[in-house]
Chain A
């Protein structure tokens, strides 16, 4: 725990509080600024992921050809697709790494938001032990938890939950390649709904500050994805297994 605090939690907390002071006491703006910083730090990983997404999109005609050719032999189809991915230098699981890298930051941010906003007397007292001696940090206390009508320390903001879920659905849809068979199609469809739903529910349960981080981070993800991959990706693409209107 001491190592975690020293290396991740306390730096995130102090940067967040310092940013809040610099940005006129606006803790919400500090969260947005920190989100941008996190996005910049993880940019090399994100770029790799986006390039993989782009390559996957470009490979779609070839994948569909393989589906037609080996549609009845799933094992062969998988083998041929893996071969295709290998030739193109694409890792279909590459999108996991940026998520894993961000996970400790989410935890640190959650802790930082709870500590910095000092929702309880214990957290205010605990904050004293975690703040650096920088004047800028100590003078920023207590932080203003109001931002655009949100109480960043409060839970259960339904609008924010919808924004988090909605933006996450858009981002997922942009990157999720169409399924290669009907079975996979149903799994993909569930995943496409489950993730935004799950994060929407989490946004309701965690302080709004964390929901703000998720929403901003996802919106930045959508924007960068749009520009790097050159469009909306699979967002407009219809699944070949979905029934079409006659």
Chain B
């Protein structure tokens, strides 16, 4: 028994290590004006020239860790799960340590100390409330002059995107529903948020007040909702995709209606010309009629699909966890839509959301590298690691 206890204690000690180790996260890529922005697995935000592949700048986001029983406080890299949002010269990103940062491309390319207020930079800390985590996992949402943040403490915050001032804080969801790991969606003046325990709430985007309508499902919601017209599409832990009309207490449909799918609908679906394209952790891509929930077709990738599909020029790009990228031609008239037009292997797991522009998809693999995939030709054009050693 003594040996067992010593063994367990050793495990604790071994697991306690700070410093510059890989911290994880699955921040996706964003592209703007020929520059790719991505959070890395070692806690940095990196800007890369999409043509030359040069790293234009990077910023290491650091936080303080208490270190637990056997470790003292240490500075550690912050894990980044959110995909950066680009808005003119500012890049917004949230971290697992509860920070929201607005980084200026001008200030960062000069490597000035952060934050440079004259360039519009700011940093906001999500408040800690007792033992509740203030981690930010869900993508930030932007609408008008506001940035919306869903936190693991169960609260939604609206920040002034120019100065980082708090517009409002909504505590409506935290008491009963715990952490918010799904991103809110905004339509007009209304913000819709889904909870891990199966609720959808409508809040005023202006004031954060709870609006009259809410929806309760039998199981928790795994994905961030997507709104199309007056219908929200959201994946659930009960292995179904739900279509919920705003203002209604019952779902319009759920897919599959009878036997559930093979796993959770983790990623947000996308909607194109009346068809919902939903990927599932069971490795399948489902094409479902948005109006009726009838299945049009499905494709089995054979490996879990964690990141949302991307649509560009009627080409649907899907990347699975095994590192295979599939391209589907949605305008195909004479070929089967359900058969991939191209299949490309990038050889590393993909969990991050990715972006596409001008026929190229920019995918960050879990090996901390960015891969550029030519969608039409179906080949990897380039790929480079984001490790510190390769950067200037």
Contacts and interface: CB of A to CB of B under 8 A. Distances in A.
Contact of B219 (A96, A125, A138): A138
Interface in A95-112: 95-96, 99-100, 103, 106
A135 B1 contact: no
Contacts of B131: 151, 154
A155 B133 CA distance: 13
A235 B7 CA distance: 28
B96 to A, nearest CB: 8
B58 interface: no
Contacts of B264: 128, 138
A128 B239 CA distance: 10
Contact of A125 (B260, B262, B306): B306
Interface string B1-28: 1101110110010000000000010100
B68 A156 contact: yes
Interface in B220-250: 220, 237-239
Interface in B103-154: 131, 137
Interface string A146-167: 0000010011100000000000
A154 B220 CA distance: 22
Contacts of B196: 141-142
Interface stretch (A31-39, A72-80, A195-203): A195-203
A226 interface: no
A194 B304 contact: no
B237 A139 contact: yes
Contact of B5 (A120, A133, A142, A198): A198
Contact of B220 (A96, A141, A198): A141
A125 B69 contact: no
Contacts of A124: 181
Give the interface size class of chain B.
35 or more
Interface in A57-92: none
A205 B181 contact: no
Contacts of B281: 125, 128-129
A135 B2 contact: no
B266 A125 contact: yes
Interface in A181-205: 191, 194-195, 198-199, 201-202, 204-205
A135 B220 contact: no
Interface string B196-237: 110000000000000000000011100000000000000001
Contacts of A243: none
Contacts, number: 82
Nearest to B218: A139
A135 B238 contact: yes
Contacts of A195: 1-2, 5
B260 A133 contact: yes
Interface of B: 1-2, 4-6, 8-9, 12, 24, 26, 68-70, 81, 131, 137, 178, 181, 196-197, 218-220, 237-239, 260, 262-264, 266, 281, 304, 306, 351
Nearest to A155: B68
A198 B12 CA distance: 12
B42 to A, nearest CB: 15
A198 to B, nearest CB: 4
A205 B69 contact: yes
Given A103-B4, A142-B196, 18 more contacts: A125-B266, A128-B264, A129-B263, A129-B281, A133-B262, A135-B238, A138-B219, A141-B219, A151-B131, A194-B5, A195-B1, A195-B2, A198-B6, A198-B9, A201-B69, A202-B5, A205-B9, A205-B70
B12 A205 contact: yes
Contact of A99 (B4, B68, B181, B306): B4
Nearest to B280: A128
B392 to A, nearest CB: 31
A27 B5 CA distance: 25
Contacts of B4: 99-100, 103
Contacts of A95: 1
B304 A129 contact: yes
A230 interface: no
